[in-house]
């Protein structure tokens, strides 16, 4: 059994299924993907978790190419401008400290997007798998035959092996709740893996005409520098992208704004209206139009602060139990994929 239908869990499930293992994937969410997430608002499409995938390993590059061939991923760009706030304009700061407007940075690495939002990729991976959604696991226990996975309703599923892919401290908590013996050093290490929060604001912008929204009106795809996204336009904003310019939303501008880790931590408990007000005024300050119809999404466990590079964790755990996810192979979709593969291999041994 695999807990978590994010990229790590789905990758592990596909790998094990391809080797003839019977696999059940459970996730507490209503859809697959975990931190790959897409929200639809008034016909527009907003990616509010991962924005794109990059492939640096040949193993993941091969997988991404299969996604492109399957028509679920497409090339978006080779880099993004790193913007700094000037006097009301969007600027790119070069290595020598000089500022130029609207120049995309290119580092040679291709960035891919999901064709119909990032969840296209997760839905593709989940195809043909036994995925049970809206199932929150409350504990994992051990018995003579292997493990029992108990969900929040008390329903129990027996499993010969279990791969846990929630954030590492949550995975440890599931084992503690079921009194599974974990080596103290392993518990200490895994419980201490910290995660940064991220507040995402999803918003349309005011195009100055009352009819603009209803008509799906767009004030053009040139709202942000090519290819429609900007890193760090202000200290409080880590990322801003227009899902319309990106090619994922049929109309827009449809903005995804990711707040910086420090702003997100400071405002995590603030109400939505306060967050939107603060971000809206920052966005106005860099010369973008006013936000309207903004929604807020909070990611409590956005990214592991100090991810390991060990594949998947088995040390100090009972045989047949593996903890995986982006905390073990890099805080990106690629890391989650590689950790999922490593987990499947560990179970298969
Ligand atoms: C705002 C944001 C922006 C990002 N941008 C990028 C980017 O541009 N590029 C990139 O490569 N990466 C990006 N990332 C990181 C990337 O999304 C993650 O590294 C990757 O998706 C993690 O996958 P995972 O399978 O390890 O974990 P997750 O996707 O978190 O999957 C874990 C799953 O476990 C489920 N779960 C947890 N507890 C339980 C339980 N008790 N019972 C049942 N199910 C449970 C959760 O619902 C979740 O679906 C971003 C992440 C965030 C949050």
Ligand 1 atom having least distance to the Cα of 334:
11
Percent of the chain at pLDDT exceeding 70? 88
Taking the C-alpha atoms of residue 290 and residue 326, their distance in angstroms, rounded to an integer, is 35
User: CATH number for the domain including 110?
Assistant: 3.90.660.10
Shared domain check, 289 and 264? yes
pLDDT reading at 236 higher than 90 = yes
Taking the C-alpha atoms of residue 301 and residue 103, their distance in angstroms, rounded to an integer, is 32
Q: Is 265 left (phi over 0), alpha (psi -120 to 50) or beta?
A: alpha
Range of the domain at 283: 38-117+196-304
pLDDT reading at 89 higher than 70 = no
The count of domains in the chain is 2
What single-letter DSSP state applies at residue 260?
P
Cis amide leading into 253 (omega within 30): yes
Which pLDDT belongs to residue 105? 60
Q: Which of 157, 163, 192, 158 is nearest to 175 (CA)?
A: 163
Ligand 1 mutation target, pool 5, 25, 50, most atoms within 8 A of CB: 50
Shared domain check, 298 and 335? no
Side-chain-facing half-sphere of 178: CA atoms under 13 Å: 24
Q: Which of 260, 239, 257, 280 is nearest to 197 (CA)?
A: 260
Shared domain check, 255 and 231? yes
* CA–centroid distance, residue 123 to ligand 1 (Å): 14
Side-chain-facing half-sphere of 91: CA atoms under 13 Å: 14
Shared domain check, 217 and 292? yes
Shared domain check, 257 and 175? no
Shared domain check, 216 and 292? yes
pLDDT reading at 193 higher than 80 = yes
The per-residue pLDDT of the chain, averaged, comes to: 90
Number of H helices, E strands in the chain: 10, 21
Shared domain check, 178 and 138? yes
* CA–centroid distance, residue 215 to ligand 1 (Å): 34
Ligand 1 atom having least distance to the Cα of 7:
25
Shared domain check, 66 and 110? yes
Which pLDDT belongs to residue 206? 84
pLDDT tens readout for residues 285-301: 888 899 999 999 999 99
Shared domain check, 128 and 258? no
Ligand 1 atom having least distance to the Cα of 324:
26
**How does residue 195 score in pLDDT terms, banded at 50, 70 and 90?**
very high
Which pLDDT belongs to residue 97? 62
Which pLDDT belongs to residue 88? 46
Percent of the chain at pLDDT exceeding 90? 81
Ligand 1 binding site (Cβ under 6 Å of any ligand atom): 3-9, 26-29, 34-36, 49-53, 136-137, 165-166, 170, 198, 200, 258, 299, 302-303, 325-326, 331-336
Using CB atoms within 10 A of its CB, is residue 211 exposed (0-12), middle (13-18) or buried (19+)? exposed
Q: Which of 271, 289, 269 is nearest to 280 (CA)?
A: 289
Shared domain check, 190 and 43? no
Query: In this structure, are residues 142 and 318 in contact, taking their beta carbons and an 8 Å threshold?
Result: yes
Residue 170 or 79, more confident? 170
Shared domain check, 50 and 170? no
Shared domain check, 204 and 275? yes
User: CATH number for the domain including 162?
Assistant: 3.50.50.60
Query: In this structure, are residues 280 and 202 in contact, taking their beta carbons and an 8 Å threshold?
Result: no
At residue 127, the 3 state secondary structure works out as coil
Q: Which of 179, 149, 167 is nearest to 313 (CA)?
A: 167
């Amino acid at each position: 059994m695999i807990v978590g239908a994010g990229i790590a869990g789905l990758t592990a499930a596909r790998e094990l299924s391809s080797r003839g293992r019977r696999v059940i994937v459970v996730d507490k969410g209503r859809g697959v993907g975990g931190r790959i997430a897409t929200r639809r608002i008034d016909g527009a499409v907003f990616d509010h978790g991962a924005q794109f995938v990059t492939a640096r390993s040949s193993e993941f590059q091969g997988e991404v190419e299969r996604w492109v061939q399957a028509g679920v991923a497409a090339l978006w760009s080779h880099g993004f401008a790193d913007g700094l706030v000037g006097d009301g304009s969007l600027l790119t700061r070069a290595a020598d400290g000089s500022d130029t407007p609207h120049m995309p940075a290119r580092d040679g690495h291709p960035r891919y997007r999901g064709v119909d939002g990032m969840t296209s990729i997760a839905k593709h991976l989940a195809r043909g798998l036994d995925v049970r959604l809206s199932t929150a696991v409350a504990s994992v226990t051990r018995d003579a035959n292997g493990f029992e996975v108990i969900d929040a309703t008390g329903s129990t599923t027996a499993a010969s092996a279990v791969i846990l892919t929630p954030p590492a401290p949550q995975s440890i908590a599931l084992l503690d709740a079921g009194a599974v013996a974990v080596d103290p050093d392993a518990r200490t290490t895994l419980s201490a893996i910290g995660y940064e929060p991220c507040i995402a604001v999803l918003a349309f912008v005011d195009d100055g005409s009352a009819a603009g929204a209803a008509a799906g009106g767009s004030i053009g795809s040139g709202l942000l520098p090519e290819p429609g996204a900007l890193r760090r336009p202000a200290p409080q904003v880590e990322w801003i992208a227009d899902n319309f310019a990106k090619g994922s939303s049929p109309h827009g501008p449809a903005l995804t704004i990711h707040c910086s880790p420090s702003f997100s931590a400071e405002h995590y408990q603030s109400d939505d209206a306060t967050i939107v007000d603060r971000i809206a005024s920052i966005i106005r300050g860099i010369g973008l139009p006013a936000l309207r119809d903004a929604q807020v999404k909070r990611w409590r466990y956005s990214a592991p602060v100090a991810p390991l590079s060990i594949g998947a964790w088995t040390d100090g755990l009972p045989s047949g139990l593996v903890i995986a996810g982006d905390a073990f192979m890099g805080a990106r979709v690629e890391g989650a994929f590689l950790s999922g593969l490593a987990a499947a291999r560990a179970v298969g041994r």
